[in-house]
Chains A and B, each alone.
Chain A
């Protein structure tokens, strides 16, 4: 006898003046290997075609379907109902602007933050189409990839105590991204320059060390290690700055 699953789903359509935030309940019979991707699509197609949620790849690599599943941020596509109790409560990720129901606007948030932390290789080196590539150790390429695996799903941000209280905090995703650039010799930024970007309360010193980010990361990125390394590096740079004050005007703030 398969289980009858009870879904409690947050509902609100900000574009509809008659809509009030509330919870709707849907019943669904559990089938083998049922994921929340399949379940939510079934509910939309068979019970309520207005239900809003986001999926794209449905294989945990695009980061579209972050939501709060029984109180915990995670990717809906890789969540099997068999791992959950009969009653499943789904809420949209906090921190991000609500589009409707379970759908939130992560795109605007991440693009703004990536712009703020200047998430790109800083180099003066012009590309020469005739030249062979610069050499790199394979182990280093692998290490960069390990951090580059982040899919910007927003789970770390949604689970972060600081990010929930302060909207200017860049979140674990951004600090991990900066670690990736620090590791990459092609990025010519120096420690004082990185300090300007993340050596602040909006950056690494805003982290309270609760580390829910590491617990919920669906990509299992070693965020705890990266945050620790970055904090040490930036604290050391901060001390250096005290003993050797910077020239006026060099300090960038966001």
Chain B
């Protein structure tokens, strides 16, 4: 089978912030690196992060007294004790360094302005004195679930600006970026991963990448859902190729976050910074409600909690009726024109362009939408994937796992470059000691297998199922039955339906020729894998008979630390099977902070030492 082959030390599948940060680490240490990306690197989903990244600098008045210890505690509480505390610790300690490093590379972080400043919280204005000795240092804003103002930002274009800053660094270092190239299978011998088979999305031709180390940094799997804030490329491609090895587990697939403020009807995100800066949520009577449900944190409780109360409030008949279903309002009018057109400039633009709403004097229609994948390719604290040597993962695609069952706002953008920095150094250590045998025969087999799959799709060998109909059916089941509130009956129905969809997904036949940059073929190749991921999410959720963070079971409302202080590991060992094998491991090996109350979101807790029931 004719194909081009590329050799490198580090192959990064995905060129968003996490992939680029690891590539920068490798290139800075003198190693060769190639970045693969579905889209030009600067169009990666990292660019959509708006509000900022958390790092305990403690420069601004409302951040005074902050430290990595406080950040760590907020993160563990946010995760509802589902996180790996070793990783959360590394993360909180490294975040300030990563923020300053980005500043050194040109990131225009917003800065402290000394003197009296007016801020808003929960619709009330207050004054704070920004200190003279902090003038010009990196400032921060409030985000949900945090004890201090800790989210460093550049207006509300933080992800965009950070991505451009890092891609500039990648350009400077001369790292090769192969954009519009999709990894379609990993090359491995059962022990070592040595690269991937890929498809050039500009021409449709297959390629081989052989590498000493391979990193999966492909973002989340939000596109398993019909209503998501995620970009159209967040389809779980990296998870599929890892899971398909049968050796690498999908960690906590059921941990899926819904963001409170997706815009109705397009599900475009408006940043949590709106509420952080003092915006409020209003109901059909234009009255606040979060201050009643959550007296302490109000609109700034964690995302899982706010999203649940919003859906609850709508269910109480307090939603605003619309042709697109009931929604609630986000009110930032009181922040004023200057604030909105500078610090919330992107929100200002997108409300006007996509909604025809001017947020300076109008309310923004919002409703929770799928937003973030806490689950992912399970790795150890070095970012090394379970099950295959030489395979790493980092960023949203990984289950590293600092987020557990709920991620705090501002902690994902932070994770990309903080974990990226840490994992990057570990990848360099691996490369320094690597003695890797690259077998071309394995690559040839991989290419031949993929070419055969493509032929069967083009020739409709296995059937004539319509790939788009399958995608729609899968997304609908996930949205309706594996959403914010879950229960055993719906989850079982979801698993059953997804298994039927999976049978169809294996019988897809193309309606077009499949020649060149054909979009139907690209989707058809990954569709069965996407359904496998969806089954992992639904089945993981069905088996987890408790409520923790974003995983809220109506039929098991307590957080059960006695039986479920653990992480799901889903393995798909046999492609003919239609369910994963689920195993479990303790949430954390080290326990700096034993399970307790989060301080928001009323939950019954079954303690670790509670007696077992029969």
Chain A residues within 8 Å of B, Cβ to Cβ = 13-16, 32-33, 35, 44-45, 48-52, 54-64, 78, 99-100, 103, 105-108, 110-111, 114-115, 118-121, 123, 125, 127, 129, 131-138, 140-142, 144-145, 148-149, 151-152, 184, 186-187
**Is residue B437 within 8 Å, beta carbon to beta carbon, of the partner chain?**
no
Q: Which 4 A-B pairs have the closest CB atoms?
A: A15-B516, A135-B136, A107-B40, A50-B512
Partner of B154, one of A45, A99, A134, A145: A145
Q: Chain B residues near A129: list those with CB within 8 A.
A: 97, 100-101
Greatest chain B CB density within 10 A among A13, A106, A131, A133 is at A133
The answer on a CB contact under 8 Å between B512 and A187 is no
With A111-B40, A119-B171, A135-B111 as known contacts, state yes or no: A58 contacts B268, CB within 8 Å. Answer: yes
Given contacts A49-B520, A54-B39, A121-B106, whether A137 and B111 have CB atoms under 8 Å apart is yes
Give the CA-CA distance A226 to B504 in the complex, in Å.
55
CB–CB B232/A120 < 8 A: no
Shortest beta-carbon distance, B87 to chain A, in Å? 19
User: Which residues from chain A contact B362 at a C-beta distance below 8 Å?
Assistant: none
Q: Say how far A211's CB is from chain B's closest CB, in angstroms.
A: 22
A138 contacts B139, C-beta separation under 8 Å: yes
Asked whether, in the complex, the Cβ of A135 is within 8 Å of the Cβ of B350, the reply is: no
**B518 neighbours in A (Cβ, 8 Å):** 50, 52
- Give the complex CA separation of A225 and B68 in angstroms: 43
B165 to chain A, nearest CB (A): 8
CA A17 to CA B281, docked complex, whole Å: 57
Minimal Cβ-Cβ distance residue in B for A122: B172
Q: Does B354 contact A (CB under 8 A)?
A: yes
Contact check, B350 vs A120: say whether CB atoms are below 8 A apart: no
Q: Is the CB of A57 within 8 A of B177?
A: no
From DSSP, what is the main secondary structure of chain A's interface residues?
loop
Known: A62-B48, A134-B103. 12 other contacts (CB 8 A): A13-B516, A15-B517, A57-B231, A58-B232, A61-B47, A107-B180, A119-B171, A125-B104, A133-B138, A145-B155, A152-B42, A186-B106
- B468 at the binding interface (Cβ < 8 Å): yes
Mark out the residues of chain B between 98 and 155 whose CB falls within 8 Å of any chain A CB in the assembled complex: 99-101, 103-106, 108-113, 135-139, 154-155
- Per the bound structure, the CA–CA distance linking A136 and B231 in Å amounts to 33
CA distance A149 to B135 in the complex (A): 25
Q: Is there a chain A Cβ closer than 8 Å to B598's Cβ?
A: no
Closest to A58 in B: B232
Task: Give chain B residues whose Cβ lies under 8 Å from the Cβ of A118.
Answer: 172
Contact assessment for A145 and B161 in the assembled complex, using a CB-CB cutoff below 8 Å? yes
Contact digits for B491-523, partner A, Cβ 8 Å, 1 yes 0 no: 000000000000000000011110111111000
Q: Quick check: B43 and A56 within 8 Å, CB to CB?
A: yes
In-complex Cβ contact of B110 among A14, A114, A141, A187 (8 A): A141
Which chain B residues lie closer than 8 Å to A49 at the CB level?
A: 467-468, 510-512, 519-520
Chain A nearest CB, measured from B501 CB (Å): 17
B594 adjacent to chain A (CB < 8 Å): no
Interface string of B30-60 (1 = CB under 8 A from A): 0000000001111111011000000000000
Rounded to whole angstroms, the CA-CA distance of A56 and B232 in the bound complex is 5
Min C-beta distance of B116 to chain A, whole Å = 15
